Amino acid sequence: MSTTAVKQEGPATVASAPTIGSHVRGYFRRVRGGDIGALPAVAGLLVLCTIFSIMRPSFLTAGNFANLFTQGAAVTLIAMGLVFVLLLGEIDLSAGFASGVCAAVLANVITVLGHPWYVAVLAAVLTGLVIGTSLGLLVAKVGIPSFVVTLAGFLAFQGVVLLLMEEGRNISVRDPVLVAIANRNLPPTLGWALAALAVAGFAAVQLLRYRKRAARGLINDPLAMVLARIGVLAVVLGVAVYVLNLERSRNVLISSLKGVPIVVPIIAVLLVIWTFVLQRTSYGRHIYAVGGNKEAARRAGINVDRIRISVFVICSTMAAVGGIVAASRANSVDPNTGGSNVLLYAVGAAVIGGTSLFGGKGRVLDAVLGGAVVAVIDNGMGLMGYSPGVKYVVTGVVLLLAASVDALSRRRAAATGNR
Amino acid sequence: MSATPLLELRGIDKSFGPVQVLRDVALSAYPGEVTALVGDNGAGKSTLVKCISGIYPTDAGKFLFDGRPVSINSPRDAASLGIEVVYQDLALCDNLDIVQNMFLGREKRSGIVLDEPTMEQMAAETLAGLSVRTVKSLRQHVSSLSGGQRQTVAIAKAVLWNSKVVILDEPTAALGVAQTAQVLELVRRLADSGLAVVLISHNMNDVFAVSDRIAALYLGQMVAQVKTTDITHAQIVELITAGRTGTLGLTADTGGNGNGSAPAGPQHRGGMA
């Protein structure tokens, strides 16, 4: 039997080991090919911070830096959950008011019913679980488009918040533990210790992986690249903790105000957990697969419906966490908690960070980077004294801009056959 | 026919409502050989493949695997026997890399953590075993691959699991000349490594280039299964379009109103072999 002979040139599957140079070239090639990742978020952050610092010197103070974290925390947490839904190419428009419902449950349980804080937190998170399961079942099992299901949820949850608030009264949250989440800071030494722990942990994971791959003779990133990553994290965390540990109080004699806001390590821990789930477990791998090619995932034996339900559960549960933080920051819950621009900010944060609205592409870190951009815009424009009207318009424009970047980079990627 | 077929189908019937798509179909796939399955559009090739892979239940007939009777009622049954199908539309995820695609749904884990080094090593070994040299990095996204490379990944995915029978549905349909040649060479290598390969194709050049046997379907009936060396290009085309050629295929007396009559029986299978 004659076979078709083909000349195949080039070395074996294993190409030459990459160098730093090839890494940098590869990065620029990817960016040109439409795979821009977090570039718009990082660039936007630098540009915005520069502009605001020049126009309002008060922007660049330790006090305002700390404010950014507490202001952006709730939106960032909701956006982290939204990343999961967006990875499947679905949307959850109800996430904002779902956080409102959970916050209302929290306030009712702790203030009206008088239970301890952990019962209230548990009740809020359970509420999120129930909301997410219902949304997921309606989308995956009944087959209603997620846009419609969550738009209905958006309206209904708004009503539920009103009902839980007894027609519009707000409920205050006075529990010291809950209030501390967004209003208190870690002792400076603990801040340093946690930062050191984070860097050490990251370094251990990175170096261990490097050694494991080297032992198997697999292609590895150059060691310098690995060390550079660890170094960048150490510098970023070091600077952040240093600035946050500066004295922010106007009058030290009355009260001292310094340290990392408690909400920062909460976000960091959730970021690590969800990143681990998405990148290092088969469940996470299956989420990407369903987002990339649902039919391929089904044929590979993945239970697509279960994945679709689970992302809505994660999204609504993270919305509950966001609602708790929002309630903590405001010391109260009112009918507008989780309303107005919270959802748009959260979707914007995920998309600005580089998560695609078309599914299959995104990271939890995107939500944090995008959340920082949104917080800077909100904070900076507040300092400049713009009216809420201008703020809304600008936020809408930024969201459109991010979505355009997403769509255009996707088109460019299709044209260059790159992702 | 010296060796026993690895996969043998006998008397397979399949209807969708009133439409009988497969009629008493017999097919044998031998280890170390490429069996080409040819037939016009609507002849029942895809239906037959879906019956073998367990997606469609059959109405009648039996499967023999390595001489033993088996029942295939779900894709899982087929996979556990070692039957893998590479579909025409490939079923790869563009946003995942080569290793991730090859292990999709069957990831190697240590505890709850994905065992990436093991998977990457196994993928590299599989591709090396198939003498695939055209892939630059195992960690590149599938979207950045050419059509031939994607086909290669899909085939490598199918052979990764110690499969014994690999069914390829039109693997060269969307490929250019050079890539077609690459994929055909890979198909040949699969058979040479001892697998039973079933190749569905419309392209007679491909069929004659790589196959050891040709099975021709005509309106849901298996009209011939012959050695490639015993048949000419023109005869195959005749089998595909008319259901018979010379002494092969539907016999003259039944062939005239072939649809309603008893199909070509075992006396035709093997033909002049």
**Contact residues, B window 5-24, toward A, CB-based 8 Å cutoff:** none
CB pairs under 8 A between A and B: 124
Q: Which residues from chain A sit within 8 angstroms of residue B228, using beta carbons?
A: 1
Structural domain of B195 = 1-82+164-273
Does residue A113 register a pLDDT over 80?
yes
Cβ–Cβ contacts within 10 Å for residue B146, how many? 15
Considering only CB atoms, A418 lies closest to which of B109, B114, B143, namely B143
pLDDT at B162: 78
Contact yes or no for A13 and B94 at CB 8 A: no
- Residue B220 binned pLDDT confidence (cut-offs 50, 70, 90): confident
Query: How far does B143 lie from chain A, in Å, by closest CA?
Result: 5
Contact yes or no for A418 and B105 at CB 8 A: no
Contact yes or no for A4 and B185 at CB 8 A: yes
> Which residues of A touch chain B, with CB atoms under 8 Å apart?
1-6, 8-15, 212-213, 216, 218-219, 280-282, 285-286, 288-289, 291-293, 295-297, 299-302, 360-361, 413, 417-419
* Residue finishing a domain among B163, B189, B205: B163
Q: Which residues from chain A sit within 8 angstroms of residue B229, using beta carbons?
A: 1
pLDDT at A299: 79
pLDDT at B176: 80
Contact yes or no for A292 and B178 at CB 8 A: no
pLDDT at A34: 67
Q: Which residues from chain B sit within 8 angstroms of residue A282, using beta carbons?
A: 107, 109, 114
What total of structural domains would you count in chain B? 2
Q: Nearest-CA residue of chain B relative to A289?
A: B93
Least confident range from A47-51, A328-332, A334-338: namely: A334-338
For chain A, the three-class secondary structure string (H helix, E strand, C coil) is CCCCCCCCCCCCCCCCCCCHHHHHHHHHHHHHCCCCCCHHHHHHHHHHHHHHHHHCHHHHCHHHHHHHHHHHHHHHHHHHHHHHHHHCCCCCCCHHHHHHHHHHHHHHHHHHCCCCHHHHHHHHHHHHHHHHHHHHHHHHHHCCCHHHHHHHHHHHHHHHHHHHCCCCCCEECCCHHHHHHHHCECCHHHHHHHHHHHHHHHHHHHHHHHHHHHHCCCCCCCHHHHHHHHHHHHHHHHHHHHHHCCCCCCCCCCCCCCCCECHHHHHHHHHHHHHHHHHHCHHHHHHHHHHHCHHHHHHCCCCHHHHHHHHHHHHHHHHHHHHHHHHHHHCEECCCCCCCCHHHHHHHHHHHHCCCCCCCCCCHHHHHHHHHHHHHHHHHHHHCCCCHHHHHHHHHHHHHHHHHHHHHHHHHHHHHCCC
- Residues B159 and B202 both lie in one domain: no
Please give the Cα distance from B215 to B167 (Å, whole number). Answer: 14
CB B149 within 8 A of CB B86: no
- Residues B148 and B102 both lie in one domain: yes
Percentage with pLDDT > 90 across chain A: 48
Question: Does the CB of B184 have a partner CB in chain A at under 8 Å?
Answer: yes
What is the per-residue pLDDT across A392-411, written as a single tens digit (0 to 9) for each?
A: 788 788 888 888 888 888 88
pTM attached to this predicted model: 0.85
Query: How far does B112 lie from chain A, in Å, by closest CA?
Result: 6
- Residues B156 and B176 both lie in one domain: no
- Residues B146 and B225 both lie in one domain: no
What is the per-residue pLDDT across A117-171, written as a single tens digit (0 to 9) for each?
A: 999 999 999 999 999 999 999 999 999 999 999 999 999 999 999 888 876 688 8
Tokens of A339: 């309303």
DSSP letter at B205 equals: H
pLDDT at B273: 35
pLDDT at A10: 37
Mean of pLDDT over chain B: 82
Question: What would the mean pLDDT of B229-247 be, rounded to a whole number?
Answer: 84
Contact yes or no for B136 and A15 at CB 8 A: yes
Query: How far does A39 lie from chain B, in Å, by closest CA?
Result: 19
- Residues B104 and B228 both lie in one domain: no
- Residues B53 and B99 both lie in one domain: no
- Residues B133 and B256 both lie in one domain: no
Please give the Cα distance from A355 to A349 (Å, whole number). Answer: 9
Which of A7, A13, A205, A281 is most worth mutating to test chain B (most B CB atoms within 10 A of its CB)? A13
Question: Does the CB of B74 have a partner CB in chain A at under 8 Å?
Answer: no
Q: Which residues from chain A sit within 8 angstroms of residue B138, using beta carbons?
A: 13
pLDDT at A302: 86
Please give the Cα distance from A396 to A345 (Å, whole number). Answer: 9
Question: Does the CB of B112 have a partner CB in chain A at under 8 Å?
Answer: yes
* Residue finishing a domain among B128, B163, B198: B163
Look at A279 and A12; give whichever has higher pLDDT: A279
Does residue B253 register a pLDDT over 50?
no
- Residues B118 and B171 both lie in one domain: no
Positive/negative CA dihedral, B247, B249, B252, B254: positive
Contact yes or no for B91 and A296 at CB 8 A: yes
Parallel, antiparallel or unpaired: strands B165-169 and B196-200:
parallel
Please give the Cα distance from A177 to A193 (Å, whole number). Answer: 22
Tokens of B222: 């298996």
Q: Which residues from chain A sit within 8 angstroms of residue B197, using beta carbons?
A: none
- Residues B102 and B68 both lie in one domain: no
* Beta-bridge partner residues of B97: B141
Tokens of A74: 């709730």
Contacts of A139 (CB under 8 A, 6+ apart): A90, A145, A146, A149, A308, A309, A312
CB A285 within 8 A of CB B114: yes
Considering only CB atoms, B96 lies closest to which of A8, A10, A292, namely A292
Does residue A270 register a pLDDT over 90?
yes
Query: How far does A253 lie from chain B, in Å, by closest CA?
Result: 51
Considering only CB atoms, A285 lies closest to which of B107, B137, B228, namely B107
- The domain that contains B205 carries what CATH number? 3.40.50.300
* Residue finishing a domain among B148, B163, B178: B163
Does residue A19 register a pLDDT over 80?
no
C-alpha distances (whole Å) from B99 to each of A262, A294, A331, B103, B140 are: 40, 18, 49, 6, 9
- Residues B230 and B254 both lie in one domain: yes
- Residues B96 and B66 both lie in one domain: no
Q: Nearest-CA residue of chain B relative to A417?
A: B144
Considering only CB atoms, A6 lies closest to which of B100, B121, B181, namely B181
Q: What is the enclosing helix (H) or strand (E) of B9? A: strand B7-16
- Residues B144 and B174 both lie in one domain: no
C-alpha distances (whole Å) from B204 to each of A17, A41, B39, B167 are: 43, 54, 11, 18
Considering only CB atoms, A288 lies closest to which of B75, B96, B138, namely B96
- Range among A277-281, B48-52, B224-228 with highest mean pLDDT value: A277-281
Does residue A103 register a pLDDT over 50?
yes
Query: How far does B66 lie from chain A, in Å, by closest CA?
Result: 24
Please give the Cα distance from A412 to A31 (Å, whole number). Answer: 10
Question: Does the CB of B96 have a partner CB in chain A at under 8 Å?
Answer: yes
Q: Which residues from chain A sit within 8 angstroms of residue B87, using beta carbons?
A: 299
CB A325 within 8 A of CB A102: no
CB A124 within 8 A of CB A318: no
DSSP letter at B93 equals: -
pLDDT at B269: 41
Contact yes or no for A413 and B143 at CB 8 A: yes
Contact yes or no for B228 and A300 at CB 8 A: no
Please give the Cα distance from B47 to A277 (Å, whole number). Answer: 39
Q: What is the enclosing helix (H) or strand (E) of B188? A: helix B177-192
Q: Nearest-CA residue of chain A relative to B97?
A: A419
Contact yes or no for A219 and B184 at CB 8 A: no
C-alpha distances (whole Å) from A1 to each of B31, B69, B228, B271 are: 15, 31, 9, 19
pLDDT at B247: 73
Query: How far does A306 lie from chain B, in Å, by closest CA?
Result: 14
Does residue A315 register a pLDDT over 90?
yes
Question: What would the mean pLDDT of A284-288 be, rounded to a whole number?
Answer: 95
- Residue B252 binned pLDDT confidence (cut-offs 50, 70, 90): very low
